[in-house]
Chains A and B, each alone.
Chain A
Amino acid sequence: MPVMAGLMRRFNDTRPFDGLRIAACLHVTAETAMMVRLLRAGGAQVSLAASNPLSTQDDIAAALAARHGTAVFARAGVDRRGYYRHIERALASEPDLVIDDGGDLVNTLHTQATALLKNVKGGCESTTTGVIRLRRMAAEGALAFPVIAAHDTAVKRLVEGTCGTGQSVIDGILRATNTLLAGKTVVVAGFGPSGRGVAERARGLGAQVIVTEIDPVRALDASLHGFRVLPMAQAAPLGEVFITVTGNRDVLTAEHLEAMRDGAILANAGHFDVEIDVRALAAHAVQVHQDVRPHVDAYDLGNGRTVLLLAEGRVVNLVAAEGHPPEVMDLAFGIEALALAWLAGTVSQEPGDKLQPGVHEVPADIDAEAARLVLATTGTSIDALTPAQQAYLDSWRIGS
């Protein structure tokens, strides 16, 4: 993870988090372990909880706790109550800064641990889903501190969403099912950065891809890229593989399940398990054969048709594969670490200069710095504007 390795050297010198406590709620993976070490190199005291009940890699959690002196509260396969108890325990460190992935930690702070709110100076959110929740909180005036929407940068949309999710979702589906995608009809719900990545990669493997969308701009984008765009009701009887990448609920419902072909594969790549209506699926099934392969449950619908649900409808690239490749997380965490360091720097500012409570974009220069760090890792050099070019761009006087 060269970006983070470079930042590790930088933070060792600059110590941006000296004396600060950071509570993080992230998928407990090897990349997260590197992030924790980076924050500690910058001087922080870190406590960590898992951001998904199924995504924890127990060996990583153990290593972090044992070797790197971090308070870790995470176990794979934990139930719902245990999951939230872990978040509460991570928050018990009384953090100055928080890092969230999906918004469960920030939500818990505002509902279950309000006494701790006054100590929190700010935070970062890693995912689109979390940012959507935060914006709703901010709109209601409920968000008590500034949060950087670290998911939402141009560089991350490209590298993490399109490339990372695109690749790892396909990886998860292949590992879980070993199905040949060439010649299959793959329905991708949602053509945001991640949905685009999934759709493009499925096409690259020879699938016929159908896109469903609710946003006319994205639907047009998909159409102009040659994808067939249909409402889900029309796509349901055509698809052989369904992948939800919307960030919304009830994308695949009972109505769609009834129309599906025998053997249809259902996978969710969105953060939460609400995109595929798993309860409706269970209610419709006359029999469920669990784990016909690892992470594959076969739902016999009683109409002669069986559909295969991957990863219980949870985020398939993390459950059935290994999540984003390290390069993607390297960039994502690099941006988050740079944003967090910037946030830590604002803590000592005068109250009037401080970042106000609410959701804030990652400053463009931090995004550009991250892109530069990634380019440096591949040995890619780029041109710089000459002073004359810069003057030309800045001037309104020069025309034809």
Chain B
Amino acid sequence: MSADQHPFQVADLSLASFGRKEIQLAEHEMPGLMAMREEYAPSQPLRGARITGSLHMTIQTAVLIETLTALGAQVRWASCNIFSTQDHAAAAVAVGPDGTPDNPRGIPVFAWKGETLEEYWRCTELALTWPDSDGPNMILDDGGDATLFVHKGAEYEQAGGVPSPSNDDPEEWVIILDRLRNSLADHPGKWTKAAKAIRGVTEETTTGVHRLYEMAKAGTLLFPAINVNDSVTKSKFDNKYGCRHSLIDGIKRGTDVLIGGKVALVCGYGDVGKGCAESLRGQGARVIVTEVDPICALQAAMDGYQVATLEDVIDKADIFVTATGNRDVITADHMSRMKHQAIVGNIGHFDNEIDMAGLARTNGVTRTVIKPQVDEWTFPDGHAIIVLSEGRLLNLGNATGHPSFVMSNSFTNQVIAQVELFTKREEYPIAVHTLPKHLDEKVARLHLDALGVRLTTLTKEQADYIGVTVDGPYKPEHYRY
């Protein structure tokens, strides 16, 4: 495949001016990224960086992309979810601030809302395929798909071929194997070379971080990684406050159902689940939580939520939300026993929390598309449930994901992590790292002015008394906030 033939691939370039207007509005709400541009534009720390991004192609991501280019980077981009692209954002990024739809001058972006799985992995491969070079030298990942593709490509090149899929492999894995098989045939050695050139990956989300730690533990990680997810200003803010905002937005845009008085079940009480439960309660729902971890379960109970098992309440809840990061949380059998018109949605990163394939295989079940990303599934006995975004993360599929201000926090971490990995290679050996606390505090500091926050400064005596410096870091590494 030649990337030259595809300078970019988006749904509709004519959406670019609308996208540009929204980008300008978002820039105002993303003070951290704008401060990065101001601080680093003169020194161009990312000059020479070829960054492949695999991250939801939204308006906020457009501000991130243009921050990376403002710092000197070249960028190629794909979305990390088939439904999460905002087509006007993708168009504006392809056209660029100085281009027009007739003369696009932006960056190569391969993303549109409603990709097939085949198209999705082709876009990922295109973003990883750099004309006139061996590939990216940096990856900015969300969920780890770009990292996975490079690692599997290199692994199969070493092994001398791509294995055949087995019968119970998920559909998506079969597609990945097919794509790698073609790639190995057309460009032997491509992924081994790419992996060698990559200085590191910065990973956005819990799921991708989990994959990275697994690889590091198994000794298969090929380049250093920075775990951006576990920066406090990412996980606490993006996961909790972002999901608190966008979960109910997605449910309402999808169904317009009154949340007050409903019984809402939230599976998982991590940072995401905590935000989800809080916003559902704030709208007047009676929230029940399921958990596997006794600490999180106790937290939920102490916060006044009923903690039950899914079996206890399967026929009682009106709204089901999965926020676990695990697979097989809601099964087809569960869905068959829910109340008529129960709403089912997932806000975890992958679509394996709700068994959609199992639902589709259920005898006699029929699917009616109400509107994009809202399906009614009717069982043979006549009762039906409403599934949002086909079991993929509904806050992005049915709404517009996290708001700009929240994303400014996590993306400022991303920019700092990219600069760290690209410019300080000797400080980051092959392993999974987190950003030092002073940089985490810096991200927060950059967002205070916009909210009118007046921060108190320690006196020297006070700083000495608690054993920190006046400028921080203020907390030990293990502090949990």
Contact = CB atoms under 8 A, between A and B. Distances in A.
A324 interface: no
Contacts, number: 40
Interface in B280-328: 281, 283-287, 298, 301-306
Interface residues of A, number: 16
B345 to A, nearest CB: 19
Contacts of A207: 304
Contact of B302 (A206, A209, A225, A226): A206
A224 B304 contact: no
B261 interface: yes
A220 B304 contact: no
B260 interface: yes
Contacts of B304: 182-183, 203, 205-209
Contacts of A228: 286, 306
B303 A226 contact: no
Contacts of A226: 260-261, 281, 283-287
Nearest to B302: A182
Interface residues of B, number: 15
Contacts of B285: 226
A224 B285 CA distance: 7
Nearest to A223: B261
A210 to B, nearest CB: 9
Nearest to B305: A208
B442 to A, nearest CB: 34
A342 interface: no
B284 A225 contact: yes
Interface string A210-228: 0000000000100111111
A250 to B, nearest CB: 27
A224 B261 contact: yes
A380 to B, nearest CB: 22
A207 B301 CA distance: 8
B284 A208 contact: no
B228 to A, nearest CB: 32
Interface in B402-438: none
A182 B307 CA distance: 13
B298 A208 contact: no
B319 to A, nearest CB: 12
Contacts of A206: 302-304
Task: With a 10 A CB-CB cut-off, give which of A206, A208, A228 has the most chain B CB atoms.
Answer: A208
A223 to B, nearest CB: 4
Contacts of A224: 260-261, 284
A82 B32 CA distance: 73
A222 to B, nearest CB: 9
B84 to A, nearest CB: 30
Interface in B248-299: 260-261, 281, 283-287, 298
Contacts of B302: 182-183, 206
Contacts of B287: 226
A185 B281 CA distance: 17
A162 to B, nearest CB: 17
A203 B301 CA distance: 11
A183 B304 CA distance: 5
A206 B302 CA distance: 5
Interface string A170-197: 0000000000001101000000000000
Contacts of B281: 226
Contact of A183 (B283, B284, B286, B301): B301
B262 to A, nearest CB: 9
A209 B305 CA distance: 9
Interface string B122-147: 00000000000000000000000000
Contacts of A227: 286
A76 to B, nearest CB: 36
Task: With a 10 A CB-CB cut-off, give which of A185, A209, A223, A228 has the most chain B CB atoms.
Answer: A223
Contacts of B286: 223, 226-228
A183 B298 contact: yes
Interface string A117-143: 000000000000000000000000000
A225 B301 contact: no
B354 to A, nearest CB: 24
A303 to B, nearest CB: 25
Nearest to B282: A226
A102 B72 CA distance: 78
A209 B260 CA distance: 16
Contacts of A208: 301, 304-306
A264 B302 CA distance: 18
A390 to B, nearest CB: 35
B343 to A, nearest CB: 16
A174 to B, nearest CB: 16
A220 B258 CA distance: 13
Nearest to A180: B302
A367 B285 CA distance: 34
Interface in A146-186: 182-183, 185
A207 B303 CA distance: 7
Closest 6 CB pairs of A and B: A224-B260, A183-B301, A223-B261, A182-B302, A224-B261, A206-B304
Interface of B: 260-261, 281, 283-287, 298, 301-306
17 contacts: A182-B301, A182-B302, A182-B303, A182-B304, A183-B298, A205-B304, A206-B302, A208-B304, A208-B306, A209-B304, A223-B286, A225-B260, A225-B284, A226-B260, A226-B283, A226-B287, A228-B286
Given A208-B305, A226-B260, 10 more contacts: A182-B301, A182-B304, A206-B302, A220-B261, A223-B286, A225-B284, A226-B261, A226-B285, A226-B286, A226-B287
